[in-house]
Structure 1
């Protein structure tokens, strides 16, 4: 079952890449594994899924211990409290949800103590929703400059969680906005930001068409069959 699910999603990603004139290897499939038991993740790992994204620190730490014998590429994709950074900083390859100065300072502090450069994505609130985290687009440049000054933090791109729409096509403008914001930063600062983390189970094909390099898939991989 796990391998069948993974194969189906991989085929859809492949078709989306072909439709967009992109290569399959340009897009990382990240298993959004919140609430998924460790043994299920182990099954998916053996089917070929290597990267998992967690939302809750306590849940992640348990899975990290359960799966220590596997070379999992762990990402953190949820809202991250500053006081929890110390628990994950040595275990996570990429933090997707950097969205405020206090969190930046804590990541810089904890990574500096370890002599590590922590790779991050800046979360952008593309829909202007009060219930979601993320830097407002008009504040992105200023926040990005602060990230560049943090020697132990390396921004690799942007992430967003757009407003939900019944028709996934209506989400396209938010993905296009994130890509545009990334392109503006690249041009203004003369550097490369390789990643756009955008697109989930119901809209990832459109995200790929708009330039996503990481798609966060949960329900299609781990959810129940309807």
Structure 2
């Protein structure tokens, strides 16, 4: 169980806390991979560092973490700049307004929340200006499976039926490449409270995508509470925050 994060104090104490939390997450991942008949190397841990300082990112890097994620560009950009000397891969996992795409394009390697054509166009233009390539994951809203529209609680996402069209737009966009798919276990609809089935459905969508684009093989699913179900369903990347960094403070 994740430990509550302490107020920043002794770096040695915080490093020990993070190391212990990472070890617990690693044990869970190892057990989940073994149960699924998968190699541990098949699953990449992305540590979501939102609301935590750059000093924690540095400690995580010292502990061997290479993939970190943020969900707010206002926090992510300065944190990435402060850690620019570290060998890190940066992921953006939050909802993104089109007029903020330029900020994300400055530092991110992967954007997990691509869900509409206007955002694809904005990211493409921003990445071209930066002279870099962004790898994009389509965020799939599984609670739009039946009607095509649903309340996603502000999470966003493209309906499963619209994935092929959006994938083609990403493939055609300059400075972007299609990396795969992402989802968050739905709170509404047929998959509410059934993360295992939700992640299995995402795996089916991923298989369909790979028929046209074998390189789009990332499946980003699972967080602190449901990473085992995600691994069992074939996730290649899990996004874990609380179980590593501790319970986040309330945002006022």
TM-score normalised by L of structure 1: 0.92
Cα deviation for residue 55 of structure 1 reads 0.3
Runs of 5+ consecutive residues of structure 2 not aligned to the other structure: 1-16, 145-149
Cα deviation for residue 62 of structure 1 reads 2.1
> For residue 180 of structure 1, what is the aligned residue in structure 2?
204
Runs of 5+ consecutive residues of structure 1 not aligned to the other structure: none
SS at 1:52's partner residue?
strand
> For residue 111 of structure 1, what is the aligned residue in structure 2?
127
> For residue 176 of structure 2, what is the aligned residue in structure 1?
153
Could you tell me how far apart the structure 1 residues matched to 2:82 and 2:213 are? 42
Q: Is the alpha carbon distance of 1:113 and 1:72 closer, same or farther for their aligned partners in structure 2, counting shifts above 3 Å?
A: same
Cα deviation for residue 88 of structure 1 reads 2.2
Cα deviation for residue 90 of structure 1 reads 2.8
Could you tell me how far apart the structure 1 residues matched to 2:88 and 2:171 are? 28
Maintained 8 Å contact 2:221/2:227? yes
Aligned length: 222
Maintained 8 Å contact 2:206/2:217? no
Could you tell me how far apart the structure 2 residues matched to 1:22 and 1:207 are? 12
Could you tell me how far apart the structure 1 residues matched to 2:21 and 2:125 are? 40
Cα deviation for residue 164 of structure 1 reads 4.1
Which of 221, 228, 251 is the equivalent residue of 1:205? 228
Maintained 8 Å contact 1:75/1:96? yes
Cα deviation for residue 51 of structure 1 reads 1.1
> For residue 58 of structure 2, what is the aligned residue in structure 1?
42
TM-score normalised by L of structure 2: 0.83
Cα deviation for residue 190 of structure 1 reads 5.2
Q: How large is the Cα RMSD of the aligned pairs?
A: 1.8
Which of 134, 138, 141 is the equivalent residue of 2:161? 138
Q: Deviations over 1:129-166 (max 9, x none)?
A: 4223000011111111111211321011000012249x
Maintained 8 Å contact 1:198/1:204? yes
Could you tell me how far apart the structure 2 residues matched to 1:111 and 1:218 are? 27
> For residue 216 of structure 2, what is the aligned residue in structure 1?
193
